[in-house]
Amino acid sequence: MVQSDATRLGARAIYESLRDQIRAGTYATGAALPSSRGLAVELGVSRGTVSTAIEQLAAEGFVEVSQGARPRVAPLPVAANPSPEPATPAAPPRLSPYGQALSALPSWRDYQPSRAPYAFRYGDLSPGDFPAQAWKRAIGTELARRPTRLAYEDPRGSLRLRRALQGYLWRARTLRCDADQILIVNGSQQGLDLCARLLLGPGDRFVIEEPGYRMARMVFGATGAQALPVPVDADGMRTEGLAGLDARLAYLTPSHQFPLGGVMPVGRRQQLLDWARAQDAVVIEDDYDSEYRYDIRPVPPLHGLDTRARVVYLGTISKTLSPTMRLGYLVVPTELVHAFVTAKQFADRHTSLLEQEALASLIEDGGYERHIRRVRRANAQRRAALLQALTEVFGDRVEVEGAQAGLHLVVWFRDLRPDQRDSVIAQALARGVGLYPVDPHYAAPEGPQCAGFLMGYASLDPARIAKGIRLLGEVLAQLDQHRGA
């Protein structure tokens, strides 16, 4: 409580007491309240305090006041004395089909902070990588600006940021587009949700990678549309599996397949786009971590490979700056811009402006790309530490996938059955190691053949990574002993 306005609190207490008495029937309809002088004396407050309370009761329709007379209780259209019914309504809430689909889902608490000191959680970043000084400067500069008026922004977002991203996308991804095709969203999650709402409905079908990004599958599926999973291998989606599939939308991560890490070669890319054109399907290209490639330049996006196919390109800064800063962007085909802009306007008018402008300034002065080069080096070291530790501790016992790019690996334990997974996770956690299974990213309920873990390394330093893997080695060694026994 920061206010201490005794008079006001007095008036409020009096107001509440009288209101409750009226509602309880202590004063019947038409009955006069005590005079304000009488109440003031009785309660030991000023007459003004009582008057404030009475004015409030009158404003809300509890009492009627007329010049020179005592206030009288106003007629209420219903019994003022509520019968003792249960405090909550009996019937369950009636929800839309979307609401019912969401209500039926269990809580998915992937956002709850892990207390494990060696949590290999994908999506988390190290605060030490955040460009704190540059960001503080950029934010400070924007806060110092004073516009002529404060008004809603274009639903697409700041034009300055869209122009900065237009240049960035060309420099970093050889992606050519108009600033009017760029839509700033609250992280790639909102981009996925807008695509789902605009393109999918009950009875529709969508293509996803198997395994693939679980959250995309869930958001698309919540519309009532049906998932058509197409298996992936080391080169991403096996696009020959698209033949004959009738779908409205295909969601892919061609630059770095999530979670298995494949990079889709041009032949498959072309096959995908040919299929999309023939089906009149929209391809959602999620380029979620293209900034992180350790040996060669990032692979150019699908977007622009075939101008006759409809590709929605999706980018994010959750992997370069912070997941808590909700900024991402869509590049939308011209003919879909109106629908996307209106959907964004209906969803939340526009993304909050301050961080958009700060990001624009960071891109404009080159700080963003310098930052990316720096964290790419830091993550290359983490990756090397993880690969080395895995080799030293487990050797051939594990198979590693997806090490060329990104901020995570998938580690398969060849000799661990899927049903041993949960006990490994529990025992690892008891030693402070957070492990995250790959299974939830499979649409098929049976999942993979052996136990696999998605190991994110972007929030840990190399020494901690090595220690975490050693601790995991102890867990597996203990398991072997039990087997032997």
Site for its own copies, residues 370 to 409, rule: CB under 8 A: none
Footprint of its own copies on 419-478 (CB under 8 A)? 459
The amino acid that residue 426 corresponds to is A
DSSP 437: B
Please pick, from the candidates 24, 28, 32, 143, the single residue that binds its own copies as defined by CB under 8 A.
Answer: 143
Footprint of its own copies on 41-80 (CB under 8 A)? 52, 55-56, 59-62, 74-78
Which strands sit side by side in the sheet containing 451-456, from one edge to the other? 398-401, 408-413, 451-456
**From 38-46, 325-333, 409-417, 466-474, span contacting its own copies (CB under 8 A):** 325-333
Nearest approach, Cβ of residue 282 and its own copies (Å): 7
Contact 191, 233 (CB under 8 A): no
Q: SS3 for 72-120, per residue?
A: EECCCCCCCCCCCCCCCCCCCCCCCHHHHHHHHCCCCCCCCCCCCCEEC
**Which tokens go with 461?**
């330093």
The Cα 224–Cα 206 span in angstroms is 11
Of the pair 146, 483, the CB lying nearest its own copies is at 146
The amino acid that residue 364 corresponds to is E
Per-residue binder mask for its own copies (CB under 8 A), 258-287, x = binder = -----xxxxxxxxx--x--x--x-x-----
Contact 168, 359 (CB under 8 A): no
DSSP 222: T
**From 318-326, 375-383, 424-432, 477-485, span contacting its own copies (CB under 8 A):** 318-326
Q: Verify binding: residue 25, its own copies, rule CB under 8 A.
A: no
Nearest approach, Cβ of residue 368 and its own copies (Å): 9
Nearest approach, Cβ of residue 471 and its own copies (Å): 18
DSSP 350: S
**Which tokens go with 95?**
């929800």
**Which tokens go with 404?**
């060329």
Please pick, from the candidates 65, 159, 218, 387, the single residue that binds its own copies as defined by CB under 8 A.
Answer: 218
**From 152-160, 385-393, 413-421, 438-446, span contacting its own copies (CB under 8 A):** 152-160
Q: Verify binding: residue 1, its own copies, rule CB under 8 A.
A: yes
Residue 161: name the closest of 138, 140, 134 by CA. Answer: 138
Please pick, from the candidates 365, 399, 415, 461, the single residue that binds its own copies as defined by CB under 8 A.
Answer: 365
Nearest approach, Cβ of residue 424 and its own copies (Å): 23
With CB under 8 A as the rule, give the number of residues binding its own copies: 144
Nearest approach, Cβ of residue 482 and its own copies (Å): 33
Distances (CA, A) of 482 to 7, 396, 415, 429, 475: 73, 21, 14, 18, 11
The Cα 372–Cα 317 span in angstroms is 10
Please pick, from the candidates 17, 141, 174, 388, the single residue that binds its own copies as defined by CB under 8 A.
Answer: 174
**Which tokens go with 444?**
């098929």
**From 303-311, 410-418, 441-449, 470-478, span contacting its own copies (CB under 8 A):** 303-311
Q: Verify binding: residue 300, its own copies, rule CB under 8 A.
A: yes
Please pick, from the candidates 181, 190, 290, 361, the single residue that binds its own copies as defined by CB under 8 A.
Answer: 190
Of the pair 275, 413, the CB lying nearest its own copies is at 275
Footprint of its own copies on 224-263 (CB under 8 A)? 235, 248, 263
Of the pair 141, 388, the CB lying nearest its own copies is at 141
Footprint of its own copies on 79-138 (CB under 8 A)? 82, 85-89, 91-99, 102-103, 105, 107-108, 110-114, 119, 121, 123-127, 130, 132, 135-136
The Cα 297–Cα 290 span in angstroms is 9
Please pick, from the candidates 21, 35, 226, 345, the single residue that binds its own copies as defined by CB under 8 A.
Answer: 345
List, as one string, the DSSP characters of 375-420. HHHHHHHHHHHHHHHHHHHHGGGEEEE-TTBSSEEEEEETT--GGG
Residues 6+ apart with CB under 8 A from 273: 283, 302, 305, 306, 309, 311
Of the pair 404, 420, the CB lying nearest its own copies is at 404
Nearest approach, Cβ of residue 318 and its own copies (Å): 8
Q: How many CB atoms sit inside 10 A of residue 324's CB? A: 9
Nearest approach, Cβ of residue 329 and its own copies (Å): 13
